[in-house]
């Protein structure tokens, strides 16, 4: 099947997937499925206890947008979930805020729980998301040596993405992730790692083409061209190299170089170690990003909260002029091997 038709069919599938929420490109030969977890219940708190009354108020946390039922649910979370600072064992988020404990993460955590409840996320996703975001043991260490990047080196927020150039969900996510560098000026640095899935026959050559372009200082130009392309055959890749003004002899040599193949393999191995289950996999300051049905909004909220926890008062995104993908689009992904990773280094 020509790649152009393959993209069309994949995008029709992705459109249906996006209506259901966040997902990923997955390949059964690459990745095992995660345990879906226990069934949800919105009438009880995170530990299965009856939620506290809806009149709980915490200074600095606006719950005016919540209904009485949602306030009870939120009260249950902040009363039972542990404060996100290791030196406050046995202290809940609510107690941390009420007693003004020295943990800068408590207030952002409580505000994040307001957003989770308001968006109607089921209990197991709220609790798992809280652990992924605030549990110190969940932070991943990622080697960023020689990884293509954009954004200031001193930026307090580091985004690392593993993606497949043939994955329609990566395709939708790409312009949104890149836009964060501009929407949070001097705050965000973005790193890209390749993870070509076995289910996508053109993804591995496309990854090598991107790294061949990197050797001539045109990685991001090729990155953009590949994600906006409707065809990724070898002749198409060479055509894109010509369009970018690359030295074709060097490009072809680098495409076939063992060093380029090793670079792609290294990225895949690191993705496995980071626990990749599908593409795109996004890690922000060492933690796996988990969004809902509003990919762009969730990504902005995550970065905003990260800056808030770092005590940065200038933590709001700049207005966006236009977006290549709708803000409500929730990119899915393709699956790949699982593993574990850590904070960027």
Shared-domain flag, residues 202 and 323:
yes
Shared-domain flag, residues 227 and 111:
no
Shared-domain flag, residues 197 and 336:
yes
Shared-domain flag, residues 306 and 164:
yes
Direct distance between the N- and C-terminal alpha carbons of the chain, in angstroms, rounded to an integer: 42
Q: In this predicted model, what pLDDT tens digit does every residue of 225-246 receive, in sequence order?
A: 999 999 999 999 999 999 999 9
Confidence of residue 15 (pLDDT cuts 50, 70, 90): very low
Domain boundary, last residue among 121, 152, 169: 121
The confidence score (pLDDT) of residue 86 equals 82
Shared-domain flag, residues 81 and 106:
yes
* pLDDT surpassing 90 at residue 196: yes
* pLDDT surpassing 60 at residue 155: yes
Q: Show the domain range for 109.
A: 41-121
Burial of 263 (0-12, 13-18, 19+ CB in 10 A): buried
The confidence score (pLDDT) of residue 29 equals 60
With respect to residue 132, please indicate whether it lies within any of the assigned structural domains: no
When pLDDT is averaged across residues 218-229 and rounded to a whole number, the result is 98
Rounded to whole angstroms, how far apart are CA atoms 203 and 232? 8
Shared-domain flag, residues 114 and 155:
no
pLDDT, the chain, mean: 83
Rounded to whole angstroms, how far apart are CA atoms 141 and 124? 25
When pLDDT is averaged across residues 206-229 and rounded to a whole number, the result is 98
Rounded to whole angstroms, how far apart are CA atoms 269 and 267? 5
Q: Mapping DSSP to helix (H, G, I), strand (E, B) and coil, where does residue 104 land?
A: coil
Give backbone dihedrals phi and psi of 254, rounded to 5 degrees, phi first: -70, -35
Structure tokens at 222: 């090729």
The confidence score (pLDDT) of residue 290 equals 82
Give backbone dihedrals phi and psi of 163, rounded to 5 degrees, phi first: -145, 160
Nearest to 337 by CA among 260, 256, 279, 294: 279
Domain boundary, last residue among 88, 121, 154: 121
More confident residue, 258 or 323: 258
The confidence score (pLDDT) of residue 320 equals 65
When pLDDT is averaged across residues 110-119 and rounded to a whole number, the result is 93
What is the share, in percent, of the chain residues with pLDDT greater than 90?
Answer: 65
Shared-domain flag, residues 146 and 294:
yes
* pLDDT surpassing 70 at residue 99: yes
Q: Which residues pair with 189 in a beta bridge?
A: 158
Domain boundary, last residue among 121, 152, 172: 121
C-alpha torsion sign, points 104, 296, 200, 216: negative
Look at the chain and report how many structural domains it folds into.
2
Q: CATH code at 148?
A: 3.40.30.10
Give backbone dihedrals phi and psi of 152, rounded to 5 degrees, phi first: -70, 140
Shared-domain flag, residues 208 and 226:
yes
With respect to residue 110, please indicate whether it lies within any of the assigned structural domains: yes
Shared-domain flag, residues 302 and 189:
yes
Q: Lowest mean pLDDT: which of 66-70, 171-175, 264-268, 316-320?
A: 316-320
C-alpha torsion sign, points 18, 279, 208, 221: positive
């Amino acid at each position: 099947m020509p790649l152009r038709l393959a993209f069309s069919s994949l995008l029709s599938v992705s459109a249906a997937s996006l209506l259901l929420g966040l997902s990923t490109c997955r390949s059964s030969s690459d990745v095992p499925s995660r345990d879906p977890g226990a069934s949800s219940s919105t009438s009880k708190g995170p530990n299965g206890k009856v939620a506290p009354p809806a009149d709980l108020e915490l200074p600095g946390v606006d719950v005016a947008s919540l209904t009485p039922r949602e306030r009870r649910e939120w009260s249950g979370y902040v009363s039972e979930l542990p404060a996100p600072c290791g030196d406050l064992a046995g202290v809940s988020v609510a107690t941390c805020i009420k007693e003004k404990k020295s943990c800068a993460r408590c207030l952002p955590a409580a505000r994040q729980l307001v957003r989770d409840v308001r968006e109607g996320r089921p209990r197991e996703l709220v609790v798992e998301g809280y652990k992924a975001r605030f549990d110190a043991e969940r932070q991943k260490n990622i080697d960023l040596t020689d990884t293509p990047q954009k954004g200031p080196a001193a930026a307090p927020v580091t985004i690392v993405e593993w993606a497949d150039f043939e994955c329609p969900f990566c395709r939708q996510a790409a312009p949104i992730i890149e836009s964060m560098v501009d929407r949070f000026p001097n705050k965000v640095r973005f790193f890209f790692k390749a993870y070509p899935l076995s289910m996508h026959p053109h993804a591995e050559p496309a990854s090598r083409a991107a790294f061949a372009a990197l050797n001539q200082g045109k990685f991001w130009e090729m990155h953009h061209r590949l994600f906006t392309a409707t065809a990724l055959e070898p002749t198409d890749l060479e055509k894109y190299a010509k369009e970018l003004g690359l030295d074709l002899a060097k490009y072809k040599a680098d495409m076939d170089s063992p060093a380029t193949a090793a670079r792609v393999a290294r990225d895949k191995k690191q993705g496995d170690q980071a626990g990749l289950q599908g593409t795109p996999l996004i890690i922000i300051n060492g933690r796996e990003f988990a969004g809902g049905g509003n990919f762009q909004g969730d990504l902005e909220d995550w970065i905003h909260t990260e800056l808030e926890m770092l005590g940065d008062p200038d933590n709001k995104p700049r207005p966006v002029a236009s977006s290549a993908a709708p803000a409500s689009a929730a990119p899915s992904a393709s699956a790949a091997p699982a593993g574990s990773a850590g904070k960027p280094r």
